[in-house]
Amino acid sequence: MADDATGETNTLDLRKNSEWSFREMLRFAIVAALIVIPIRFFIAEPYLVRQTSMVPTFLNNDYLVVEKISYRFSEPERGDVIIFRSPIENRRTLIKRIVGLPGETIEIDGNRTVIKYSGGSATLKEPYVKNFAANFSGTYTLKADEYFMMGDNRAGSYDSRSWGPIERKDIIGRPFLRLYHFDFIGFWPGMRILPESYPRTSNLEK
């Protein structure tokens, strides 16, 4: 009888421990979700580069952390590398560099890109581009909320030259940290390199 009572007690203890463990796991999952979900939607999210269109600035399989806060308080600038929603493929996100700002006209002729903005024009200097599309030419005029995107690997990038500009609402954020490849770990990868001969932000006439 004593053995039976002991066995029943042990079984009850196991059940209590199991119930306690389940409750703790559930509580942990809820707390984690309450922390992670807002961060993912409003502050930062991971991004895996699955393309070679940004070589040599970003390599295929680079693992990035994308911050979403900056553009809530400031406007995107020319030269910024950003993550954005594809204008032609649902649920796909892309990484490119901002070349043209709202209201500007972009003229491309091989390795020469001219930006025409309110008050003047300038030839874009792009030391980060190593592979131009020598035979490409085109002219594009942007609306008040549009940005012209191109990959640093111009000869191997599918970008605004093909599918047009993106809208402000399509921008997700910009790379804040590169965690992989290990040889290139660092903050603010792909920082813009700008000459002083043209404006950093949009120059729309008011």
How many percent of the chain have pLDDT more than 70? Answer: 73
Say yes or no: 152 and 124 in one domain.
yes
Respond yes or no on whether the N-terminal peptide bond of residue 56 is cis (omega within 30° of 0). yes
Q: What is the pLDDT at residue 191?
A: 72
Q: Who's near 5: CB < 8 A, 6+ residues apart?
A: none
Residue 167 lies in a domain: yes
Q: What is the pLDDT at residue 43?
A: 77
Residue 202 lies in a domain: no
**Tally of domains in the chain:** 2
Return the sign of the alpha-carbon dihedral for residues 68, 69, 71, 76.
negative
Answer with the residue of higher pLDDT: 205 or 42.
Answer: 42
Report yes or no: 154 and 110 within 8 Å, Cβ to Cβ.
no
Q: How much is the pTM?
A: 0.77
Residue 201 lies in a domain: no
Say yes or no: 112 and 174 in one domain.
yes
Share the mean pLDDT of the chain.
82
Residue 29 lies in a domain: yes
pLDDT in tens, 104-161: 999 999 999 999 988 889 999 888 888 888 889 999 999 999 999 999 999 999 999 9
Residue 204 pLDDT grade (very low, low, confident, very high; cuts 50, 70, 90): very low
Say yes or no: 75 and 42 in one domain.
no
Say yes or no: 120 and 146 in one domain.
yes
Q: What is the pLDDT at residue 80?
A: 95
> Number of helices and strands (H, E) in the chain?
3, 12
Say yes or no: 154 and 91 in one domain.
yes
Residue 144 lies in a domain: yes
Residue 81 lies in a domain: yes
Residue 140 lies in a domain: yes
Residue 41 pLDDT grade (very low, low, confident, very high; cuts 50, 70, 90): low
Question: Which structural domain range is residue 38 located in?
Answer: 1-46
Q: What is the pLDDT at residue 8?
A: 53
Q: How many CA atoms lie within 13 A of 11 on its CB side?
A: 6
Annotated catalytic residues are 53, 96
Q: What is the pLDDT at residue 199?
A: 54
Query: Can you give 110-164 as a three-state secondary structure string?
Result: CCEEEEEECCEEEECCCCCCCCCCCCCEEEEECCCCEEEEECCCHHHCCCHHHHC
Report yes or no: 55 and 49 within 8 Å, Cβ to Cβ.
no
Please give the average per-residue pLDDT across 57-63, as a whole number. 92
Say yes or no: 123 and 182 in one domain.
yes
Say yes or no: 109 and 167 in one domain.
yes
